[in-house]
A and B are shown apart, each in its own frame.
Chain A
Amino acid sequence: MAAREDILNSVRANRAANMDLPSMEQVWQTFDEPLTHFRQMLTGIGASSELLPDSAAADAWLEGRSDYTQSASTLSLVEGVGKSTLQLDQLDTPHELSGLDWAVLPAEFGVAENGAIWVTDHQVCHRAVYFLCEHLVLVLPTSQLLHNMHQAYQRIAGWGSDDRPAFGTFVAGPSKTADIEQSLVIGAQGPRSLDVLLIES
């Protein structure tokens, strides 16, 4: 623990000049039509979105896609939307998810300013499923749409003070890279596509 004490002592001895914390209560960006903006952002980041009246319509939308109906392995954790060929909580290791074609998963809320969608592993025992599936479908009620990232953090305030806070991530589009000559390629190591099914509510 000598290193810890040395570092803390050195940090203490070298404190920078005083500066107060700024207020987070500011006038942050909002939108007249957050849903429209959200959908535009989704398109911009390489995702697609569908506006659907209810879960039955979401299910029908999936069943209408031949690439979905013809795939060998699918998983859904959203009641009434899509089907499952495997049970997440029956897997011994998350590695068994490799090769999963489609995952249909619930989203907690979306952020209009950037198209980000907050998901956690609260009810999802292997969080690898968000990243290992070939195609990701997130189901989000339109009532769960926020304007900006400040509202997003207000919404999850206190999270992190629990004893076992869940893993959480903002998903914004399918996985992508532009590391070869700045050419954008969708489908780097993670999912190749992201469909957001917006259920009117």
Chain B
Amino acid sequence: MSHATAAAEFIADAERTKWHDETIFFVRKKRDLAAASVPEWELLRETASQIKRHTLSRLDEYLEQFEANAIRHGIKVHWARNGKEHNEIVLGLLKERDVNLLVKSKSMLTEECGLNPFLEAAGIEVVDTDLGERIVQMRHEHPSHIVLPAIHIKKQEVGQLFHDQLGTEAGASDPDYLTEAARNHLRDKLISAGAGLTGVNFGIAETGGIVVCTNEGNADLGTALPPLHIASMGLEKLIPRLDHLGVFLRLLARSATGQPITAYSSHFHTPREGQEMHIVLVDNGRSGMMGQSEFNRALNCIRCGACLNTCPVYRRSGGHSYHATVAGPIGSVINPARDPEKFESLPFACSLCGSCTEVCPVKIPLHHQLLAMRHELGKRHLLPMAKTVPMKVAGAVLRRPWLYRTMGKLGRVSLRWLPRFLIYNPLNVWGRQRDLPEAPKESFRQAYKKRAPQARSDQEKSN
């Protein structure tokens, strides 16, 4: 399904679209305030960008260093070429230890790999412990935002969901009350789990450790109790040194939600007494993308979500309209880079306003990449007809001035006189949600011709 078709479903509910748009823009404004409170913000962004780009220039060395240090600290390291291998490694670890309840903290990577359905099919109960993720999991949906997974859902809907599944009072929709109910439910799960799985925000080559950031403390509870900790990590999460975290932790939460730092930034370097710790390093297309010089900076992403929050298209079309694990501007680069056929419409869900590039804490030139991706899709003949046909027509018209003049006249007249149904019909996507401008009576050429002698004589007088 194309982005535009899917977005049409979302915007059918005008009130919700407005709420979604405004609420997310409010998060963007909090980000602006937080960024402005740091005088060296631009220096931080530049530094972060250079660290990430440097890491990609010798990622193989850093991966080996990371692995050696992790092993030295008693962590087992696994390598997975793709999502399937990742899922099999995780299932193997759980099966060997007879684990039947796994608690997970936020991990977009396991979403990407489709871990939950895979484990569930093998009879393992999987509980996402981030509140937003738990809500979408209970609704059998996917997160619609990488930082705010349940931003598309209203509190009344959460109230109904919790009433049905957790036994909260009918009609209750107070966020405090609902969060309390979720707290009790999730703490029960956290305490009885046989294993905890976390994502990874940063892996540190120099120490072999990982850092996980949450506000709820769910990653910490999920790993401080059960005897097994599995961390799923994309190759691109690596940074060279411990002190580089100073840069990234200053940028991440401020860019994401406007907080100065998340409530917990936890550094895991060794299993607890009596615990096992495993890290699964996942490629799944990342190493291939490194070689695409035009797009590889998208691998520098720290998943803050700022580009989603600022994007006028994302805010008004909702995360699900992207039909991908990662939505928004960054998703519109990485998804088609990996699977151009499936995601051909995403780079066009963009007005090229450039706001994403402005806010990105690691300075990924997002809108340039989106434009480059359109060229790429064009070269591969993956443009939809709605784009290729008008482009060809426009090309033919613009090459012939007489035709251009005739068509202009025709347009001016017909826009004024044609009945509405002919202009605002399903074939004309430009006629949706907007009125076309009132057509002027004369063309620019005609107006200029009339004006020009007058203007010329005025100029002569003033000389």
A binds B: yes
Query: Which A residues form the contact surface with B (CB < 8 A)?
Result: 1, 3-4, 6-8, 10-22, 24, 26-29, 41, 44-45, 93-95, 98, 113-116, 121, 125-128, 130-132, 148-150, 152-154, 156-157, 159-161, 163-183, 185, 187-191
* Closest CB in chain A relative to B101 CB, distance in Å: 14
Is B137 close to A, CB under 8 A?
no
In the bound complex, what is the Cα–Cα distance between A95 and B27 (angstroms)? Answer: 36
The interface size of chain B toward A, counting residues with CB under 8 Å, comes to: 97
Q: 8 smallest A-B Cβ distances: which pairs?
A: A190-B217, A160-B207, A14-B291, A114-B260, A179-B132, A188-B216, A128-B224, A16-B56
Q: Which residues, 299 to 344 on B, are CB-close (under 8 Å) to A?
A: none
Closest residue of chain B to A154 (Cβ to Cβ) is B243
CA distance A113 to B206 in the complex (A): 26
Task: Write 20 A-B pairs (CB below 8 A) sorted by A numbering.
Answer: A3-B79, A3-B85, A7-B81, A11-B287, A13-B291, A14-B291, A16-B57, A18-B57, A20-B50, A22-B54, A24-B244, A98-B191, A132-B224, A148-B250, A156-B242, A165-B270, A170-B266, A175-B217, A183-B155, A189-B186
Whether the Cβ atoms of B217 and A21 lie closer than 8 Å is no
In this complex, what residue of B is CB-closest to A18?
B57
Partner pick for A17 among B132, B149, B293, CB 8 A cutoff: B293
Asked whether, in the complex, the Cβ of A116 is within 8 Å of the Cβ of B265, the reply is yes
A26-B40, A167-B269 in contact; A183/B175 too (CB < 8 A)? yes
User: Does any Cβ of A come within 8 Å of B349's Cβ?
Assistant: no
Q: How far is the CA of A1 from the CA of B81 in the complex (A)?
A: 11
Judging by beta carbons under 8 Å apart, are A149 and B249 in contact? yes
Instruction: Determine if B218 is an interface residue (Cβ-Cβ < 8 Å).
Output: yes
Report chain A residues within 8 Å CB of B458.
none
Q: Please, how many angstroms separate the alpha-carbon atoms of A15 and B129 in the complex? A: 36
Tell whether, in the assembled complex, residue A189 and residue B151 are in contact, meaning their CB atoms are under 8 Å apart: no
Are B260's CB and A45's CB within 8 A? yes
User: Would A171 and B263 count as touching, CB distance under 8 A?
Assistant: yes
Q: What 15 new A-B contacts, CB under 8 Å, besides A21-B51, A29-B40, A176-B216?
A: A7-B287, A11-B63, A16-B290, A95-B191, A114-B261, A127-B224, A131-B221, A149-B246, A153-B242, A161-B206, A164-B73, A165-B209, A178-B257, A183-B155, A190-B216
**B-side contacts of A152, CB under 8 Å:** 246
B80 within 8 A of A: yes
Interface centre among B51, B155, B246 (most CB of A within 10 A): B246
The CA of A45 and the CA of B216, in the complex, are separated in Å by: 13
Chain A residues lying within 8 Å of B85, measured Cβ to Cβ, are 3
A188, B266: Cβ atoms closer than 8 Å: no
Contact between chains at B57 and A187 (CB < 8 Å): no
Q: Which single residue of chain A is at the shortest CB-CB distance from B248?
A: A149
Residue numbers of B with Cβ under 8 A of A are 23, 26-27, 38-40, 43, 46-47, 50-51, 53-54, 56-60, 63-64, 69, 72-74, 79-81, 85, 129-132, 135, 148-151, 154-155, 158, 175-176, 178-180, 182-183, 186-187, 190-191, 204, 206-209, 215-218, 220-221, 224-225, 235, 240, 242-247, 249-250, 257, 259-270, 272-273, 281, 283, 287-288, 290-291, 293, 296
Closest to B254 in A: A114
CA distance A178 to B147 in the complex (A): 11
- A12 closest partner in B (C-beta): B60
Contact A168 B267 (CB under 8 A): yes
CB distance from B182 to the nearest CB of A (A): 8
Do residues B242 and A157 form an inter-chain contact, with CB atoms below 8 A? yes
Which residues from A are CB-within-8-Å of B281?
Answer: 7
- The 8 Å CB contact of A172, one of B74, B179, B264, B272, is B264
Contacts of B26 in A (CB 8 A): 182
The answer, among A8, A10, A11, A174, for a CB contact under 8 Å with B263, is: A174
* Majority secondary structure, A binding face: loop
Determine whether the beta carbon of B290 is less than 8 Å from that of A164. Answer: no
* Residue ID in chain B nearest A46 by CB atoms: B263
Residues of chain B with a CB closer than 8 A to A156's CB: 242
Q: Are B190 and A180 in contact (CB under 8 A)?
A: no
Q: Is the CB of A181 within 8 A of B243?
A: no
Q: Chain A's nearest CB lies how many Å from the CB of B294?
A: 11
Q: Is the CB of B250 within 8 A of A149?
A: yes
Which of A15, A29, A160 has a CB less than 8 Å from the CB of B59?
A15
Question: When the two chains form their complex, are residues B215 and A175 in contact, meaning their CB atoms are under 8 A apart?
Answer: yes
Contact status B54-A179, CB under 8 Å? no
- Contact (Cβ within 8 A) A14 B23: no
When C-beta atoms are compared, the residue in chain A nearest to B190 turns out to be A189
> How far does the alpha carbon of A185 sit from the alpha carbon of B73 in the complex, in Å?
37
Asked if B60 contacts A11 (CB within 8 A), the reply is: yes
Smallest Cβ distance from A98 to chain B, in angstroms? 6
Contacts of A179 in B (CB 8 A): 130-132, 135, 148-150, 179
Cα distance A18–B175 when bound, in Å?
49
Q: Is the CB of B215 within 8 A of A188?
A: yes
Rounded to whole Å, the gap between the CB of A45 and the closest CB of chain B is 7
A16-B53, A154-B243 known; A45-B267 Cβ under 8 A: no
Complex: A191 Cα to B69 Cα, angstroms: 33
Give chain A residues whose Cβ lies under 8 Å from the Cβ of B129. 189
Q: A15-B60, A22-B51, A164-B270 are in contact. Are A7 and B79 (CB under 8 A)?
A: yes
Say yes or no: B58 contacts A15, CB within 8 Å. yes
Question: What is the CB-to-nearest-CB distance from A137 to chain B, in angstroms, rounded to a whole number?
Answer: 16
